[in-house]
Structure 1
Amino acid sequence: MDSITNAPLSRRAALGAGLAGAAALLAACGSSSSAGSGASGPATAAGSAGDTAWKPVSVKHAFGTTTVEKQPTRIVTVGVTEQDFVLALGVKPVGVTDWYGDQPYAMWPWARAANGDNKPKLLKTDDGFQFTEIAKLQPDLIIGTNSGMTSEDYGKLSKLAPTVPQASTKKGYFAPWYDMLATIGTSMGKSQEATALRSSIKAKFSTAAADHPKFKGTKAIFLQNAVSDGSLIAYPEGLGTEFLADLGFEVPSDIDKYVREGEQAYIPVEQIHVLNSAEVLIWATEKPSDLAALQKVPGFSNLDAVKSGRSVYTGGELSGAIYFSSPLSLPYVVDKLTPKLTKALA
């Protein structure tokens, strides 16, 4: 299983270790899942949102194909962000998995309205999937497109309910949000809603980009909030940077030589000057002490973006929204980040 390359480093390591274990499995209802050759592909649906009666839907994924025979009403999400996708498609999950942030029922501000007064079971992954607790919830669909589950995990979960894992064995976490949305929408029998939702989010970004022509072509780098093992951690083009591209920004290729395979760019503090390749720096700070710590990093105060006021500091909720990259968090990113970027480029 690969690591969570779109998450803060410490949380990525902690969650990766938590998912490595396995728990005992209770005997429970079977699912209509079949193990295949491991080929991955786009979701396919036999039904549509306009149907008055449920039609079985099938989803291809990393471990084969899952068929959902009956309309799901008790959905459990076992990955780190899928609750947002399920809520965005109009269903309140009965069980969700906590990632980080100590949010009530793992619901960040952007998801609370959709969740309403729902109180889902809060699952943990410190010692692997909580198979026993999941079984108690009597799920009729288990969604783990952002869970990094193994084939062994998939086999156990599939005995509880139809289970939809990640699309590819090569990317256990954080596939593009629109791909996860399509897969989850299909499994829920809401393909049309998923397509419409993607279009509305893309339109929101397009409008923001059009309203702020200074964004177009401007070089920007998104970074984590702290130095880790002597390196600053930045996100290269295509790794969790879709929000920047959709606003019109470009990620400079100068940081690519510091990229670890399948991960972020680890820039040694001694090479901090490479960040001058960007006109805007976006730091995923979560609290004031994060900025105070960055200001002590050698060379930080001499960065062009810092000296010219083009360094943006997110705060905890906005950084969380960027990391989640979900149908509910992305509109929040547009609303909260755009004013900061506008001010930086004024």
Structure 2
Amino acid sequence: MSPMSQRTRLTALAASVLLLFGAAACGSGESGDSGAPATDSGAQKGAFPVTLAHKYGDTTVKSEPQRIVTVGLSDQDAVLALGKAPVGTTEWLGGFKGAIGPWAEKALGDKPVPTVLHDDGTGPQVEKIASLRPDLILALYSGLTKDQYRTLSKIAPVVAQPEDGPDWSISWQDQTEQVGKALGKSDEAKALVAKTEKHITDAAAAHPEFKGKSAVVATPYEGMYVYGPQDNRSRLLNGLGLALPTDLGKVVGDAFGANISKERTDLLDADAAVWIVADPDKDAEKLHSDPLYGKLDVVKEGREVLVKESSHFGSAVSFVSPLSLPYTVDRLVPMLAAAVDGKTDTKVVHPAS
């Protein structure tokens, strides 16, 4: 599709969305969806209006939002952790009800389960989002385009991903604090970040053997795909006291991850290689059959950490939010400890859940 045709399609879509949005706003309010406004402790006094900077400019939130839609793939966790429930969430991993992972169910509590949106690669479901009558759209952990931002902004204020760094690379700390500002709960957000960081640093302190050791996160996607320094999975390894391979940032470049050439298979020869895979047994066998990777010490010495991506734990490893991180750390750290202990007969055991 040409750029002109794309703009024309978006303009027509925006017009239809506005009509739909207007009809919904004028209705009785009995929409039948599960996204009724959440009740919570409320925003800080004087928190609004608040202006948030992002990739496409500045967005002002004039008053405390009550109907929040999350387009960012993990934005819902910060919203839930701060006492609100989105009316709409975007599906990413796990196929969970309401796109709420098991680590976030307690935070949801008895609040209505959000309506799930799907992004099949064509972008946000604009008409469905409009039908939810949001007063705030969060797209922090996202790859929202400028045209998509403009279209969604016709429905409600949109807070997009940061200007600095690649798409899908906002740190969980910045994500949480941005959500906190948008909800009028900056102090709560900062406290939440500090509490979560302490969980990570406490785990690192309990495992001084991690200091001076290296680790990398990878997945067998179209070959061998590694996550770079600007990805939250890699940032967690750093938080636990593990270093990333020296040349990782240079190889990945200005992205959150990249496929590596066979000549750079050495990047995977870390003290611990965390693999996110579909089937640990089958994928390990396939990886070990690779003539270059199979000869590395990380394989010979049993330093691989194989994470099943479809498990609850596997989903949490990729989510990296203030709600998923404690869940992840408590399960991942014993695996990392077994991988780096220098004993070839130590088995790295995947958690049951």
Alignment gaps of 5+ in structure 1: 1-20, 30-47
Q: Choose the corresponding residue for 2:13, options 17, 24, 36.
A: 24
Cα RMSD, aligned residues only: 2.3
Q: How far has the Cα of 1:245 moved from its partner?
A: 0.7
Contact 2:210 2:240 in 1 (8 A): yes
Per-residue deviation, 1:87: 0.9
Q: Distance in 2 between matches of 1:137 and 1:172?
A: 26
Q: 1:55 to 1:261 in 2, by over 3 A?
A: closer
Quote the Cα distance in structure 2 between the aligned partners of 1:271 and 1:140.
47
Does residue 99 of the first structure (1) align with residue 101 of the second (2)? no
Query: Which digits, 9 at most, give the CA deviation of each residue in 1:8-32, with x for residues without a partner?
Result: xxxxxxxxxxxxx847132246xxx
Question: Given the alignment, which residue of 329, 333, 345 partners 1:338?
Answer: 333
Write out per-residue CA displacement over residues 306-329 of structure 1, whole angstroms, 9 at most, x where no aligned residue.
221221112223332232221112
* Equivalent in 69, 74, 77 of residue 62 of structure 2: 69
Identity of aligned pairs, percent? 39
- 2:226 corresponds to 1:234: yes
User: For residue 201 of structure 2, what is the aligned residue in structure 1?
Assistant: 206
1:153-209 CA-to-partner distances (Å, cap 9, x unmatched) read: 222222212211112175332211111111111001010111001101111111111
Deviation at 1:232, TM superposition (A): 1.6
Instruction: Name the SS for the 1:284 alignment partner.
Output: strand
Matching of residue 123 in structure 1 with residue 123 in structure 2: no
Residue 254 (structure 1) shift: 3.8
Residues 139 and 158 of structure 2 are in contact (CA less than 8 Å); yes or no, is this contact kept in structure 1?
yes
1:249 is aligned to 2:238 = no
Q: Please, which runs of 5 or more residues in structure 2 have no aligned partner?
A: 1-8, 23-41, 342-353
> What is the rounded CA distance, in whole Å, between the counterparts of 2:101 and 2:89 in structure 1?
12
Offset at residue 91 of structure 1 (A): 0.7
Alpha carbons of 1:215 and 1:151: their partners in 2 closer, same or farther (altered >3 Å)?
A: same
Shift of 1:339: 0.9
Q: Which amino acid aligns with 1:109?
A: P
Higher relative contact order (CA 8 A, sep 6+): 1
Structure-2 residue corresponding to 1:191 = 186
Q: Does 1:57 find its partner at 2:50? A: yes
- If you compute each CA radius of gyration, which structure gives the higher value, 1 or 2? 2
Change (3 A) 1:169 1:243: closer
Secondary structure at the aligned position of 1:209 is classed as helix
CA–CA separation in structure 1 for the residues paired with 2:191 and 2:337: 28
Aligned to 2:316: 321
Partner Cα separation in structure 1 for residue 224 and residue 294 of structure 2: 14
Cα distance change, pair 67–273 in 1 and its aligned pair in 2 (3 A):
closer
Q: Is the 8 A contact 2:47 2:185 kept in 1?
A: no
| TM-score (norm: length of structure 2) | 0.78
Among candidates 114, 126, 138, match of residue 143 of structure 1: 138
Question: What is the CA–CA distance in structure 2 between the aligned matches of 1:338 and 1:209, rounded to whole Å?
Answer: 9
SS at structure 2 position matched to 1:113: helix
